[in-house]
Structure 1
Amino acid sequence: MVKESMLARGEKVIFTAHAHWKNLVVPVLVTLLALAVLLLALLVWLPDPATQAWQRWTVAVLATALAVAFGLWPALAWFASTDTLTTRRLISRRGVLSREGREIPIERVQSVTYRRTLLERMLGCGTLIVQTAGETSDVELTDVAHLERRILQVQELLLREEIPAEGNPPVSDEAGTDGGDDTGRDAP
């Protein structure tokens, strides 16, 4: 998330987004699996705390380590990573303990393309490739949610035109003069 104090005068945030939610599926499943194995081990395989204490602690430590390493840490990394488009730049921030950021001024953007797999097409996400002028020409933002909308928002800034929002068709001067009513049915 970009703080208001980090924006230039007159700069406005168009969108701030995390990577697609599909990146949370594996961490959540790993955490649930670790919890299930822990409960199964403590209740079924190692039911006696008096004689099996060290085994129970070993299973608990292993399950916790797996849940933290493959469940909690990737979820924290997802939450701490954002892509932000403002009226003047594209900002990408990554990292939990150490942070990495990249900012691209909109006026340096030469083109915007995308890449999607079949699964990404079904989920509405993909990789947004921003080509810029300069020695580091391509910037790839992976797992961008609502990819089509994000491409339109970047193109709108590049073209300095307003593209209608989803579900809001452009208003024409001849609206309502076709003799039909607002429901789309012909008048009797």
Structure 2
Amino acid sequence: MASAVRAGRRLRQAVEGSELAGLPADLRAELEAALASQGAVVPFRLLRRLRTALREAGSPLYLHQLLEGSEIDFPEVPVPPRNPELVARLERIKAKLANEEYQRMTRNITGQTNGTLAEFGRQVRSVKAVVITIFNFIVTVVAAFACTYLGSQYVFAETAARVLSAVIVASVVGLAELYVMVRTLEGDLGKL
């Protein structure tokens, strides 16, 4: 916490000149000693006494006028030395976290110590997902065809019209299913 002010040019001129001649001699001596010290640091208690003396003397000067150009002196806070055990422990923790991050980043790289079985399992899951998707597509299109063929018997009497309407509906459902698959693959590839 600040407890002093570095004197500016205005305060120095007032002390060296005759503006503060009406002050008590001991106060002037303390001010001159503070200004002569290294950094010209004037403590707040001395400034309070100066303000009181200026009021009592009926001086036209105010303290804020004298402090123009002055700066508050903030003392340096001493930094305590770090505990060597704590520093060593922090270094171990940092190294452990860096190693975990490295392992996380490199676990999906082919050729690592994960082994060929892990890679084979990943490929099997990928093939399984593709097979299920194709099977789902075929079942959906066939079901759309069958439902339309059976449902159109109430609308059309001829078999050709029923087959044609079922093919059109199955084609539309197939195209919609393909669109959804492409968007899904696009999203999955976008994440890679």
TM range (shorter): under 0.3
TM-score (norm 1): 0.21
TM-score (norm 2): 0.21
Larger Rg: 2
More helix, by proportion: 2
